[in-house]
């Protein structure tokens, strides 16, 4: 099972092809040389390669630190790194557990709070790999529409009032994948109130949180202050997916269960990796924000270019909203007679590939299929202009 999951992940994160039956038909026949608007991948230019090189060289010159970086360490993760994360999250460092990235955090959350065959409310459309993580415990889901201000809490409240019961609710609150929307502060509070009233956990998946370039932060204190939230995050979108490093903000009572699970699975996250990131983020208190700030300036420009080009080259073909952050644009086809599968085939033949909306549907409804997901983060402005030109040819 684990081998299959890892294979799916590698394949998807590289945006190559997918094993049969995995459910994503959009990646199967990508034309060689196609412009790929496929994955939530950070811009290569945004990754702090030189700083990492320097920190790495310094580490291997410091024999004691290097040796410590090659030994076992504790399951919770490195203390100073947890302290740095805890300060940003506004919680006690004891509640932070370092993970091997976001997917690992999601799997740990599922295995800790979702009993076999329990029902879990999920975003609809949903980040599909969460459904794969959920399969560790269950395939029973209660799809909850994602609307303009995020997960439709009122919809869930109505279902709970009508006596549906869930073990957990899963949502991506900031710059949702795929719909790019953000859960409003008011709905964050309402969701946590529901969780506290009905006794389920909210699995808050927040990998895009740092990537805000417009609009107002809706805050995470409401999650971090609740005994009913598991807040999952990762360095993937900021420092790069290859680190495989992330963290959980857990309620006090879930720290020991997660650590006991960890002791049965992988003991702890890579010590070398933690050593390097800890040195980078704690060595200069402004470093991380500088890196993320520069990346966000790139993403803001790229998002704007993509929206402007769609309006200029395909006027009226899509309804779009300029993203306020994150790595995705989720435009809706305005003409209901356009067949999205045929459009995709023509676009791929013209040399541009993206994700079809139906891949993200958590329920049989057809609405997601009217959308396209464009990932713009790792494409240059010229590539984005050319991608839209090729898409216009497909139309």
Ligand X SMILES: Cc1ncc(COP(=O)(O)O)c(C=O)c1O
Is 101 or 125 the residue whose CB approaches ligand X more closely?
A: 101
- Taking the complex as a whole, the smallest distance from the CB of residue 380 to ligand X amounts, in Å, to 21
Quick one: tokens of 112?
A: 């800790």
Is 17 or 31 the residue whose CB approaches ligand X more closely?
A: 17
- Taking the complex as a whole, the smallest distance from the CB of residue 7 to ligand X amounts, in Å, to 14
| Residue-by-residue DSSP string for 202-269 | EEEE-TTTT-B-SS----SHHHHT-TTEEEEEESHHHH-GGG--EEEE--HHHHHHHHHHHHHHTSSS
Is 173 or 351 the residue whose CB approaches ligand X more closely?
A: 173
Is 258 or 317 the residue whose CB approaches ligand X more closely?
A: 258
Neighbouring C-beta atoms of residue 310, cutoff 10 Å: 21
Residues 6+ apart with CB under 8 A from 225: none
- Taking the complex as a whole, the smallest distance from the CB of residue 40 to ligand X amounts, in Å, to 4
Is 265 or 314 the residue whose CB approaches ligand X more closely?
A: 265
- Taking the complex as a whole, the smallest distance from the CB of residue 338 to ligand X amounts, in Å, to 27
Quick one: tokens of 56?
A: 């790495």
| Residue-by-residue DSSP string for 304-364 | HHHHHHHHHHSTTTEE----SBSSEE-PEES-TTS-HHHHHHHHHHTTEE-EEGGGG-SSS
Quick one: tokens of 329?
A: 């644009």
Q: What is the DSSP letter of 161?
A: H
- Beta strands 328-329 and 140-147, pairing class: unpaired
- Taking the complex as a whole, the smallest distance from the CB of residue 236 to ligand X amounts, in Å, to 3
Q: What whole-number distance in Å separates Cα of residue 215 and Cα of residue 230?
A: 25
80, 68 Cβ separation under 8 angstroms: no
- Taking the complex as a whole, the smallest distance from the CB of residue 101 to ligand X amounts, in Å, to 3
Is 38 or 388 the residue whose CB approaches ligand X more closely?
A: 38
Is 147 or 393 the residue whose CB approaches ligand X more closely?
A: 147
Q: Which residue in the shown chain puts its C-beta closest to ligand X? A: 102
Is 13 or 350 the residue whose CB approaches ligand X more closely?
A: 13
- Taking the complex as a whole, the smallest distance from the CB of residue 204 to ligand X amounts, in Å, to 11
Residues that bind ligand X (CB under 6 A): 40, 101-103, 127, 172, 177, 205, 207, 234, 236, 241, 246
Quick one: tokens of 144?
A: 């909850």
Q: What whole-number distance in Å separates Cα of residue 118 and Cα of residue 138?
A: 6
Quick one: tokens of 357?
A: 């909306």
- Taking the complex as a whole, the smallest distance from the CB of residue 183 to ligand X amounts, in Å, to 13
């Amino acid at each position: 099972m684990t081998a299959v999951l890892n294979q799916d992940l590698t394949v998807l994160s590289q945006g190559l092809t997918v094993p049969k039956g995995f459910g994503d038909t959009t990646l199967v026949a990508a034309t060689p040389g196609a412009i790929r608007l496929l994955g939530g991948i950070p811009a290569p230019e945004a990754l702090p390669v030189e700083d990492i090189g320097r920190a790495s060289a310094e580490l291997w010159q410091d024999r004691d630190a290097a040796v410590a970086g090659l030994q076992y360490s504790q399951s919770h993760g490195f203390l100073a790194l947890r302290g740095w994360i805890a300060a940003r999250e506004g919680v006690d460092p004891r509640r932070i557990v370092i993970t091997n990235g976001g997917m690992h955090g999601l799997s740990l959350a599922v295995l800790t709070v979702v009993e076999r065959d329990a029902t879990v409310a999920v975003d609809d459309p949903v980040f599909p790999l969460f459904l794969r993580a959920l399969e560790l415990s269950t395939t029973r889901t209660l799809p909850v529409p994602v609307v303009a201000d995020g997960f439709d809490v009122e919809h869930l409240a109505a279902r709970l009032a009508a006596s549906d019961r869930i073990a957990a609710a899963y949502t991506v609150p900031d710059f949702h994948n795929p719909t790019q929307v953000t859960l409003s502060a008011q709905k964050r509070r309402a969701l946590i109130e529901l969780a506290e009233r009905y006794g389920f956990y909210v699995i808050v998946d927040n990998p895009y949180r740092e990537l805000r370039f417009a609009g107002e932060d809706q805050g995470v204190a409401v999650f971090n202050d609740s005994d009913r939230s598991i807040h999952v995050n990762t360095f993937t979108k900021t420092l790069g997916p290859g680190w495989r490093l992330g963290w959980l903000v857990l309620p006090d009572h879930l720290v020991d269960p997660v650590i006991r699970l960890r002791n049965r699975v992988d003991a702890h996250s890579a010590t070398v990796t933690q050593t390097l990131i800890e040195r980078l983020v704690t060595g200069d208190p402004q470093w991380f924000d500088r890196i993320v700030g520069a990346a966000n300036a790139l993403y803001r420009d790229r998002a704007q270019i993509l929206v402007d080009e769609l309006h200029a080259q395909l006027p009226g073909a899509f309804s779009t909203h300029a993203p306020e952050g994150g790595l995705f644009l989720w435009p809706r086809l305005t003409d209901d007679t356009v067949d999205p599968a045929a459009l995709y085939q023509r676009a791929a033949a013209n040399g541009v590939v993206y994700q079809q909306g139906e891949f993200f549907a958590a329920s049989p409804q057809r609405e997601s299929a009217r959308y396209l997901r464009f990932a713009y983060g790792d494409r240059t402005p010229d590539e984005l202009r050319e991608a839209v030109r090729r898409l216009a040819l497909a139309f």
